[in-house]
Amino acid sequence: MSRYGSLIALPLWIVAGLLGLNLMVALQPGAEAVLPEGPIGACCIPGANDCIPDVSEVQCLFGFGGVYQGDGTTCGGAFCGACCLPDESCLGFIAPDVCAALGGAHEADTACAAVSCDIAACCLANASCVAVRETDCAAAGGIWKGPDGVCGDFDQNGTDDVCETSACPHDVDNDGTVGIVDFLDLLGSWGACP
């Protein structure tokens, strides 16, 4: 929570007094409000898809209605957005450099609800497997195997099992022939897809 977060519910004249602002000067025609000196950083503006650099936390919260990114942060040359963290969680509406400092992958101009932070198996063109997010897999030209996909050569044939391709794709049990077991597996899967 912001160190000024509890001030939001107070009347403007009390907030101005607590922050050392002269509200009467600020409201006079032609006068400029002077905000207190202090650390500055980036400010992400929800709904505006914008990041404002070099503002104080007070300016960000009260002047722009934004989300202060922290002292010394920058906008990083891109829009604020979702940040997928290594633990597959998502932080919403932060600047790219803040996301990178947290070890995350930034999705500019995107909300967490629109992003999948799941890390799973991605089969690349050379049949190798890497564990990445779906968007990173697509960018690499790979085939993402869904949130349950796991890299590993469990049958020890030299290829990650999830990336193995069969010369006979209908041979579900991989015994070299399409037979009753394959047919029963098909019947067992009959119905609406999940």
What is the pLDDT at residue 18? 46
The Cα 29–Cα 5 span in angstroms is 29
What is the pLDDT at residue 51? 82
What is the pLDDT at residue 107? 84
**Residue 62 per-residue DSSP state:** I
**How confident is the chain (194 residues) per 10-residue block, as mean pLDDT?**
42 46 44 62 78 88 86 76 89 83 85 86 89 88 86 88 76 75 80 70
What is the pLDDT at residue 15? 46
Q: Is the dihedral angle over the CA atoms 34, 35, 39, 43 positive or is it negative?
A: negative
H helices, E strands: number in the chain: 6, 9
Q: Is the dihedral angle over the CA atoms 45, 134, 105, 92 positive or is it negative?
A: positive
| CB within 8 Å of 36: residues ≥ 6 apart | 19, 20, 21, 56, 58
Where does 57-166 show beta strands of DSSP type E?
67-71, 81-84, 90-94, 105-108, 119-123, 129-133, 143-144
What is the pLDDT at residue 122? 92
What is the pLDDT at residue 142? 92
